[in-house]
Structure formats: structure tokens, C-alpha cells
Amino acid sequence: MKLLITGGAGFIGSHVVRLFVTKYPEYQIYNLDALTYAGNLANLTDIEKAPNYTFIKGDITDAKFLEDIFAELSFDGVIHLAAESHVDRSITDPMSFVMTNVVGTVNLLNAAKNSWAGNTEGKRFYHVSTDEVFGSLHNPEDFFTEETSYDPQSPYSASKAASDHFVRAYGNTYKLPVVLSNCSNNYGPNHFPEKLIPLMILNIQTNKPLPVYGKGENVRDWLFVVDHARAIDAVFHTGKVGETYNIGGFNEWKNIDIVNLLCQIMDRKLERPEGTSAKLITYVTDRAGHDLRYAIDANKIMKELGWEPSLQFEEGLEKTVDWFLANQEWLDNVTSGTYQSYYQGMYANR
């Protein structure tokens, strides 16, 4: 098995690459990543010398490059994670989301289709997507199932929805052996500190304001990143061609409750008097078009593929905080340079 994993230097991708490199020594794993601001080879130093691992620097918006590497390496499978992934960035720069998430995905589909022309036996194209394509839930009883209609509300989710539609269209039209999953919010080690949980950990540690959008009442359904990687393993190996699997932890939290919980954990770990970090909470202008609630019904993957989350949220959050406190150099590296200027520009006027 020659397996191409795109976006493997990013947050979730690095956990998927690690799992596959270590669990399947008989596979050759190729990690293709453009190393944007979100891609970081330091996420993979523990496995970078493994004999079954190869890193390829490249951009999925470059169709010719993809055709060339498929011709040269004849991949048997693809797990596609490369994407622009941050909703706030999609609001300020939608076109880069169209380019990577839509055009890049179609380039990859074309490269696989051309490489596998006439012989898709044993081949698989797995597209990793998000629950945000389903839009925003307003009735507390509702969950996103695999049958929920798409209703994306942000440029990010619109670009991911478009990419999902193209993947299914290639499955239907060209009989490409596709499989998809739509997952809820991930958290854990290596999470880039522009997203809620790592940003709050960083700001608590450095005594900066904790920017809570709106009233902090938006709800997200959180899953530990290693559990998502385990689910991707299950879907890649045992999911049915043409099917979609929703992945989530049945673990809904209001943003403000997560921020308060992180403040308590950090006060304890940093040996600060109780209540110190919570004083940093600052309510700021809401995200434009902010989705109210996401909640995944994960019954299909649990029943059909036997997957279930391995960690309770409080335990996962403790592990996450411990990882960030023990990896100061990683944090310093990703909060310098381009990211730092973006971060200051973005929050200076809040």
C-alpha cells in the first residue's frame, strides 16, 4: 500500500500520519504538504526518520505537480486533509479557501482518477471534512446526521461543502472509490493557537486578554484529536465506498464554559490563586455570521465500524494543557513571524 496523506504537517494530519506510520509499518506513507503558516514539520520529529515515511513539499493547487507525483509514485490510496481550516481567516480572505479547499480538492480528484483509470481495484480516495457543512443548529434536540442537508454559513464551510460535493460527484460520475467523513471540533497537542482552546491556553499563560466572541454561548462538540485519527483509520480501512460517516464525541460545550474550565486548570497548573486567570476573560465583537451550535450524531460510525471516543473531555483537556506547557519551544516557534503579525492585526481592534 502506497498511501498519500495530504496536509500531514498540520494539526489533525500530523496525528493521522503518526498513527499510520507506526501502526502500519508495511505501508509506505507519503505526507504531501505545502507548509503554509499552519503546517509544521516539528509536529512529526518523532517519526520523520521512519523507513516507511516520506515528506513531499507541494501545493495541491498545482495540478501538474499532482499529476507528476501520481505518475511517479502510483499511490493506492489517498487521505485528503490539506485545507485552509480557520473560519476567521475565511472571512477576511475567502479566495485562498476557494483555491485550496475547492480547486485543490478537484486537482487531487483528477490526479487520482487519471492515475487509476480503468483499474480502481484496491484503491480508495478518502476526503476528510467537517460538520460545519451542515450549518447551524437552533433546536436543542437536533443533531447533524449523515442525512442532514448541507447549509454552510461561512466562506470556510461553503468551500468544504463544495469540495464534499465534488468528491461525491466523482464517485458517481467516474466511479472513483470515494469515502467521506464529517467531524466535529478537534482539540489536543499541536493545535495551532489561532483556534479557541490553544489560543486560550497561550493567552492565560502569557497573561493576555481571553477574547470570547459575543456572549460566549455558542456551542461546539469537542473530540480529542487522537480519537479523530483513530476514526479516520476505521473509515479508511472498513468504511464502505460511497458512504459518509459523521464523527463526534457527543460532547457539547458552550465556549464560555470551556474558557472558565481552562482558567481553573491553568490556575492549578501554574500555581496561581484560584480565579486569577478568569479575570482575563474579555467579551469581544462577535464573529460575522457566527454559527450557534454544532452537534454530531455519531451513531453510524459507532454501530457500523465499532469506533468510539477513548477519552473523556476533562481528561483530554488536562492532557492538552500539559502538552502545551511542556512544549514551550513549539509554541514560541508558531507564535513568531507571519502568525504574530496576523494575530496582532486581527485582535488589535477588538
Residues designated as active site? 131-132, 156
Q: In angstroms, what CA-CA distances link 208 with 21, 192, 211, 214, 282?
A: 38, 17, 9, 18, 10
Report d(CA 116, CA 70) in Å as an integer. Answer: 9
**Residue from 5, 21, 83, 334 that binds ligand NAD (CB under 6 A)?**
83
Interface with ligand DAU (CB under 6 A): 85-87, 130-132, 184-185, 195-196, 199, 211-213, 218, 220, 255, 287, 294
Report d(CA 10, CA 212) in Å as an integer. Answer: 25
Contact status: 154 vs ligand NAD (CB under 6 A):
no
Cell 466523482 belongs to residue: 170
Number of residues that bind ligand NAD (CB under 6 A): 30
Contact status: 160 vs ligand NAD (CB under 6 A):
yes
Judged by CB under 6 A, which stretch of 83-91, 196-204, 249-257, 341-349 contacts ligand NAD?
A: 83-91
User: What's the CA angle centered on 85, arms 314 and 132, to 5 degrees?
Assistant: 70
Cβ-closest position to ligand NAD:
10
Short-list 47, 40, 3, CA closest to 233: 3
**Residue from 18, 78, 104, 177 that binds ligand NAD (CB under 6 A)?**
104
Cβ-based neighbours of 96, under 8 Å, separated by 6 or more? 84, 89
Q: Is-contact 191 225, C-beta < 8 A?
A: yes
Per partner kind, with CB cut-offs from 5 to 8 A, the member of ligand DAU, ligand NAD, none near residue 90 is none
Nearer Cβ to ligand NAD (171/198): 198
The SS3 of residue 121 is coil
Per partner kind, with CB cut-offs from 5 to 8 A, the member of ligand NAD, ligand DAU, none near residue 188 is none
Short-list 128, 108, 113, 109, CA closest to 233: 128
**Residue from 3, 10, 79, 144 that binds ligand NAD (CB under 6 A)?**
10
Minimum CB distance to ligand NAD, residue 118 (Å): 28
Neighbours of 336 (CB within 10 A): 10
Nearer Cβ to ligand DAU (212/234): 212
Contact status: 220 vs ligand NAD (CB under 6 A):
no
Judged by CB under 6 A, which stretch of 53-61, 169-177, 286-294, 329-337 contacts ligand NAD?
A: 53-61
Binders of ligand NAD in range 111-140 (CB under 6 A): 128, 130
Nearer Cβ to ligand NAD (33/280): 33
Report d(CA 135, CA 144) in Å as an integer. Answer: 9
Strand stretches in the chain, DSSP E: 2-6, 28-33, 53-57, 77-80, 124-130, 178-183, 185-187, 210-213, 219-224, 244-247, 252-254, 281-284
Q: Which residues bind ligand NAD (CB under 6 A)?
A: 6-7, 9-13, 33-36, 38-39, 59-61, 81-85, 100, 104, 128, 130, 160, 183, 185-186, 192
